[in-house]
Structure 1
Amino acid sequence: MTEPNVERHVDPGHDPDYRFTLANERTFLAWIRTALGLIAGGVAVAQLLPPFSVPWGRHALATLLVAAGAVMAVASVRRWQQVQRAMRAEEALPPTRLPAALAAFLVVACVAILVVVLIGRP
C-alpha cells in the first residue's frame, strides 16, 4: 500500500526558505488586521455615532467601510497565494496594487467624511 500524497494541496516547485514563507504570512496577517480594522470601523460608525445631518450618511459610510474590509480580506488572501507561488517557482514577486488602492480608498473616505461634516454645520 502506498502512502497518500500529503502534499497534494501544496503548490508545485521548490520549498522556499521558511523565513520567507513566515514573512509572507506576517504580511498577510497585517493585511487581515487592516481589513478587520475597516470592518470594525464600519460597525462603530453604524452603532456608536449619532445620526449625521445627511440622513443616509452614517449608514453609507458604515457600509463603505465594511465592504472595503471584505474586499481587503479577499485581496490579501489572493496576494498571499501569488507571493507563495512565486517563491516556490523561484520567480520575481508579482507587483501589487493593494497599498495604492487602500490609500486611494482612504482619501476618498476622508473627503466624503469632510463633506458630510461640513454640510452638517449650522
Structure 2
Amino acid sequence: MFLKALCVLAVYAVVAAFAHEAHSSQFLHKHDHHHQKVEFKDKHGHHHYDYYTHPKYEFGYKVKDPHTHDHKSQHEHRHHDSVKGHYSLKEPDHHHEREVHYHADKHSGFHADVKHSIHHIVPHHHHH
C-alpha cells in the first residue's frame, strides 16, 4: 500500500506539472516507532529473532485542474492493522461528485460508504 501511494503521488505530480493553472498538493508521513523483538523457531527447532514495528503512515493528495476539470482528493492513515480514509472526485460529466469514506481492519474487513451528489447549474437571467 505504501508503494502504491508513492506511485500515485508521483503520477499526479507529473500530470500537474504539465497542466496550465492546475493545482496539486501531496504529503506523506511515515511514523517509525520502537522496534519489538520477536522470537520464533524454525522447523528444526532453532531459535531466531527478528524485529517488528507496527505500521503507521498518513498520506494525502489534491488535484484541481480547471482546464481538464480534473478535481480529486484523497486522505488515508493507518495505525497498526486499521486503515481509514476518504476520497472524492468529480465525475466525467463535471456535474456529479463521488465521495467515499472507507475503513478496514482484520476483524471487520473492508467497508466503504459511497455518496453521489450533483451540482446544479443555476442560469443567471439578465433583466434589461
Please give the range of the TM-score, normalised by the shorter of the 2 chains. 0.3 to 0.5
- TM-score for the superposition, normalised by structure 1: 0.32
Structure with the bigger RCO (C-alpha within 8 Å, sep 6+) is 1
Q: Which has the higher helix share?
A: 1
* Structure with larger Rg: 2
Q: Which has the higher strand share?
A: 2
- TM-score for the superposition, normalised by structure 2: 0.31
